A and B are shown apart, each in its own frame.
Chain A
Amino acid sequence: MIDKINLEQLPQEDLFGPGNVGCKGCAAAIAGRQAMKVLRERTMITIPASCMATLGGNNRRTTWKIPFYHTLFECAPAVSSGIRAALEVQGIKNVNVVSWGGDAGSADIGFQALSGAAERNEDIFHVCYDNEMYMNTGGQTGSQTPKTALTSNAFLGKPTNKKNMLAIMEVHGIGYVASASIAFPADLMAKLKKAASRKGFSYIHILAPCFRGWGIPSDQTVEFARRAVYCGLWELYEVEDGIRKRTVEPQLIPVKDYIFPQKRFSKISAEEINRLQQQVDDYYGKVGK
């Protein structure tokens, strides 16, 4: 069961957010702010190369009110493993040790360290905030880019499928895996809280649209994160100790309502839209509620 989060009872103070240099409407910053509402002061965070690593501060100024380390691209979960070991050896308890990567720093260049930390069942958790392309370098294709999406180095659209990181992390045999969305903050916060309360490794994958990369207005990031869930393409669920549970029931709006307004899908074919719709219909018809 997921703890209910009462948004009105959350602390007013932000431990991440004010003064960050993210774009207006940046979903990465939204995700960070939501997370810190529940993780609170006794949290240490490592963030590999990504927008999120750079938008929290410059020189001697930072918006982070917790210990934060901008790590190298490949190794945030390994660094966090070391931090946890050092805290344990000093008897420092009740600290959330988090690694927080983008889709590249989690699924691609950062995958080896993530997989290693998960397999060792380190007492940390990893959050992947996924904007489905390499936005910190201008929006190139990565493994989390969906098929047919246009990127700054795929003018004809990506020819292959998005790698299913949640499934991959689930088969590591870790205790807790969950998907989340910035458009469902109570759900996102409850999952982070659960990951923080558990011993051992947890993995949370947040869909966090980038309006620049996706080709949508900057005030629509939350809206498109919501449509991704409602159309059925981004299912919100968790797998806790092997038990799978959907945490938000989608209305199943047409997939095209999510896809068509995004410029990155401007070259998508009717066949591909039909395929996606069929995939959603089959999935929800088969799995049920």
Chain B
Amino acid sequence: MSKVLMTGSEAAALGAKLSKIEVLSYYPITPAFPAMERLSKYIEDGELNCKFIRAESDHSALAAVLGASLAGARSYTVTNSQGLLYMTEVAYHVAGLRQSVVMGVANRALSAPHSRFPEHGDAVSQGANGWIQIFSENNQDILDNTIQAFRIAEELRTPVMVNYEGYIQSHTQEEVEAPSAEKVAAFLPLKRMPVMDINNPQGVNTVTSPDFYMDYKFRQNEALEKALTVIPQVSEDYKKEFGRDSRGLLEAYRMEDVEHAIVAMGSIVSTARLLVDNLRSQGKKIGLVKLRVWRPFPGKELYENLKNVKYVTVLDKNIVFGVGGALATDIKAAFYGRTEMVINSCIIGLGGAKSGVAEIKQAVDSTEDCSESKNSSVWIGL
């Protein structure tokens, strides 16, 4: 495999192309649009045999992709921020109907006030919608996660969102190793599961009484729980096939013998690695956990990795108003009653606000300063 310079948008588009998507629909939005344009070019150049539906809105784009999936086609869309919010209603339908749709999300802050800069608020707004959510640290992750997403989605009949950050990833080139189309085809055999089938007519989404509804929801949640074992398996298979380790649910970085751990997801993980290396060289016992999968939430696996630390600095590029950072809130809930550690929720980098090594250092320091309260929260860079 050779390395090629490509943007995150190109990595997302290439991942979808290598996965041989059959139906594509999208509605242009910034910063997801370069991935869309790239996919359309693949189709127009004859490099990808895929039907494109030029939807008149984000809502219709996901609806079209849902229709295609129901009729048995491997289907993909990409969007972000307001587009994702507009799709929300359909996103719940896709998950409730157990369709294996994959969606790229070029994470961007939500309006108002208007911002076109990176943040995880859009992804977090979808935290209860039933989709699996994978976060990408770099452009290589975007490609690998997109391919794996189809395998996960089709095995669990559950849709998957592949998150990557606007601009920081969507518009920035990095070296990416692209696997061959043949190998990806072998990794992703097409198994059709049409629900709308002319030879087997069924009524889809009929009126459902409370006992049935509850049962459907139980099974839907069961699939999400099963994802906690399927995702690491797929990651392992991918490693065997392509030689790269996506680390399943999370990656522990320099976590041996640590007192303090940073937990983060998305592009800020790379920045946190720099700080950890830096502080380690000064003798500080600090490590990092990169969360790759946010939905389902791997609380148990996180606890296994963090149970011996004294301080946890959680970097949340999102805010759930009146509650705090979504990731920290989930960690606190998962660790309830099991720990004496300080868990500090650090709201950082909202709407593209600076979130470099210095800001993460500030977050780390604030965690050790606030040992009075084990359940603390700070805003970095106000």
Contact = CB atoms under 8 A, between A and B. Distances in A.
B332 to A, nearest CB: 35
Instruction: State the main secondary structure of chain A at its contact with B.
Output: mixed
A11 to B, nearest CB: 16
Nearest to B72: A86
A112 B64 CA distance: 13
Contacts of B192: 90
- Which of B23, B72, B90, B206 has the largest number of chain A CB atoms within 10 A? B206
A82 B68 contact: yes
B71 A82 contact: yes
Given A82-B67, A86-B23, A90-B73, A112 B56 contact: yes
Interface in B198-217: 198, 201-209, 212
B89 interface: yes
A116 B59 CA distance: 12
**Range for the number of chain A residues in contact with chain B:** 35 or more
Nearest to A74: B59
**Range for the number of chain B residues in contact with chain A:** 35 or more
Interface stretch (A51-59, A140-148, A221-229, A256-264): A51-59
A78 B208 CA distance: 24
Interface string A68-102: 11111011001111110111111010010000000
Contacts of A65: 201
A152 B54 CA distance: 38
A67 interface: yes
Contacts of A112: 56-57, 59-60
Contacts of A68: 201-204
A62 B206 contact: yes
Given A67-B196, A78-B55, A72 B73 contact: no
Contacts, number: 161
Contacts of B90: 72, 75
Interface in A159-188: none
Contacts of A113: 56-57, 59-60, 63
A60 B204 CA distance: 9
A79 B59 CA distance: 10
Given A85-B51, A116-B60, A56 B68 contact: no
A66 interface: yes
Contact of B89 (A41, A72, A79, A120): A72
Contacts of B64: 78-79, 81-82, 85
Contacts of A95: 198
B73 A85 contact: yes
B93 interface: yes
A43 B346 CA distance: 54
Contact of B53 (A41, A82, A87, A90): A82
A196 to B, nearest CB: 14
Interface string B57-101: 101110111111111110100000000000001100100000000
Contacts of B59: 74-75, 78, 112-113
Nearest to A77: B60
Nearest to A67: B196
- Which of B53, B73, B203 has the largest number of chain A CB atoms within 10 A? B203
9 contacts: A59-B208, A64-B201, A64-B203, A67-B196, A67-B201, A79-B67, A82-B65, A82-B67, A113-B56
Interface of A: 41-42, 44, 46, 54, 56-62, 64-72, 74-75, 78-83, 85-90, 92, 95, 112-113, 115-116, 119-120
